[in-house]
Amino acid sequence: MTCITSYVDFTKESLLLSAASIVFNPTFWNIAARLEYKTHILTKCAFGNPRWGCYALAVTIFSLGIIRDLLYERALKEQPVLEYLDHTYVKAMAVGTFAYGNILVLSSMWALGVTGTYLGDYFGILMSERVTGFPFNLTDNPMYYGSTLSFLGTALYFAKPAGLVITALVLVMYMIALRFEEPFTAEIYAKRDREEAKKQK
């Protein structure tokens, strides 16, 4: 424990705020999406237009993501540097990791569009077919893994062990989120398929 506390200052408020935002964001969007699916509250607030409701949620999630990233950057500035990581080859690897992570995130958003990226399924805005092209031919969840890699790349670039701890938290939160999102989303599409099958009979 002494070794960890030598390089990760858990007493810094900025680190705690960063961790809190990382826990809050996926928790918030899962609760908001489930609430929308069950009550259509966001659609009602958007004058009955589900697409507007989805766009409003998208802006909220995107804004929370920016705040999360700013809090992460601020937290790293106040954390100790690990000399073993403060080398050119590590920084080069960090840049590659960050770049690859962002490629996964941005290409996911491009492939899915706004409604596909920001939980449009919960608003009844369903995609006609599953996206299987890049980057979804690499993994089913390129956005989550790409985001995690971006956090990791940032931590390595600035040689901050605290960033590695935060990155681990990011990954854990995404894995928890997927436990809720994947089966629920699968059931949304399964329900659509069942309804279409009934219509064809």
Write down the domain spans for the chain.
Answer: 11-200
- If we measure between CA atoms, which residue out of 2, 44, 19 comes closest to residue 164? 19
End-to-end CA distance of the chain: 65
The secondary structure of residue 138, as a DSSP letter, is T
How large a percentage of the chain has pLDDT more than 90?
89
pLDDT exceeds cutoff 90 at 15 = yes
Cβ neighbors of 7 (< 8 A, separation 6 or more) are: 79, 80, 82, 161, 162
Q: How confident is the model at residue 174 (pLDDT cuts 50, 70, 90)?
A: very high
pLDDT of residue 8: 95
User: pTM score, two decimals?
Assistant: 0.93
pLDDT of residue 3: 67
